[in-house]
Amino acid sequence: RPEVPGKLAPFVEAVQQALLADARRPKKERRTAKALHAQLAAAGYEGGYSRLTDYIRAWRAERGGVQAGDAYVPLSFELGEAFQFDWSEEPLVIGGVYQRLQVAHTKLCASRAFWLVAYPSQGHEMLFDAHTRSFAALGGVARRGIYDNMRTAVDRVGKGKARDVNLRFTTM
């Protein structure tokens, strides 16, 4: 069966030129596929949006471009080397009353074992209790903790990696 040219065929050169031009622009100034589709539609393109995005994806893959999800730094940890700690806020209805619980998340980096504890707030007492309960449940304390600038641990975030760590947190 002979190959029938698609609706995108007459516009392939224009799409390629647009993609090459956008590749040289800063990321925030690049056209989105939606904007490119609108531009092509104004020029007479009657094909679908997904046809265009499929073409763009294939074109970028062919040129060796990094796709979403391709770039990452794999982390590896020795057993007992590190744990991660952070808070989340979870909505909950108890007895018909809407409440927001603060949930402490402790995760061992090597085994990915985790422990969750819920509290009414993120105060220092809750922070210390969450650590105590988590370490007891997980069977010990890792050599270092990884934190994400929590208000209960960091008083002020400075330039770069500079932090003013809370005195009560440091004492813990």
In the chain, domain spans = 9-62, 82-171
User: What is the distance between the alpha carbons of residues 103 and 91, in angstroms, rounded to a whole number?
Assistant: 10
User: What is the distance between the alpha carbons of residues 37 and 45, in angstroms, rounded to a whole number?
Assistant: 8
Per-residue pLDDT at 78? 94
- According to DSSP, residue 30 is labeled S
At 11, is the secondary structure helix, strand, or coil?
helix
Per-residue pLDDT at 3? 54
User: What is the distance between the alpha carbons of residues 70 and 55, in angstroms, rounded to a whole number?
Assistant: 19
Query: Nearest 5°: phi and psi at 67?
Result: -90, 160
Mean pLDDT for each 10-residue chunk of the chain (172 residues)? 70 91 88 93 92 89 67 83 94 93 95 95 93 95 88 82 82 80
User: What is the distance between the alpha carbons of residues 134 and 113, in angstroms, rounded to a whole number?
Assistant: 11
Per-residue pLDDT at 4? 46
The distance between the two most distant Cα atoms of the chain, rounded to a whole number of Å, is 77
pTM check: above 0.95: no
